[in-house]
């Protein structure tokens, strides 16, 4: 992926966002965030900026549902 952002693991996402790795895994299971790729071994790889965008979008949808 020339010119694209560095892809990181769920542990790195957790560290960047200050949450537990289990929280990141739950978000993936619940469809809140989606990895850019999934390795042959089933491990997700993420673009942190895309994760942040997905979380903002999820928060906005949740606020609209709760209104």
Q: Is residue 50 part of a domain?
A: yes
Number of structural domains the chain divides into = 1
In the numeric block, which tokens belong to residue 25? 């895994």
Give per-residue pLDDT as tens, 41-57: 999 999 999 999 999 99
What are the pLDDT digits (tens) for 16-35? Answer: 999 999 999 999 999 999 99
Domain containing 30: what range? 10-66
Predicted model pTM: 0.84
Burial class (CB in 10 A: 0-12, 13-18, 19+), 45: middle
Residue 21 lies in a domain: yes
**43 assigned to some structural domain:** yes
5 within domain boundaries? no
Residue 47 belongs to some domain of the structure: yes
In this structure, what CATH number is given to the domain that contains residue 40? 1.10.1660
Mean pLDDT within 7-19: 97
């Amino acid at each position: 992926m020339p010119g694209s952002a560095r892809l990181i693991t769920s542990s790195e996402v957790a560290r960047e966002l200050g949450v537990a790795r289990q929280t990141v895994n739950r978000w993936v299971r619940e469809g809140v965030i989606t990895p850019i790729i999934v390795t042959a071994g089933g491990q997700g790889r993420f673009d942190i900026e895309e994760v942040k965008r997905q979380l903002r979008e999820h928060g906005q949808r949740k606020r609209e549902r709760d209104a």
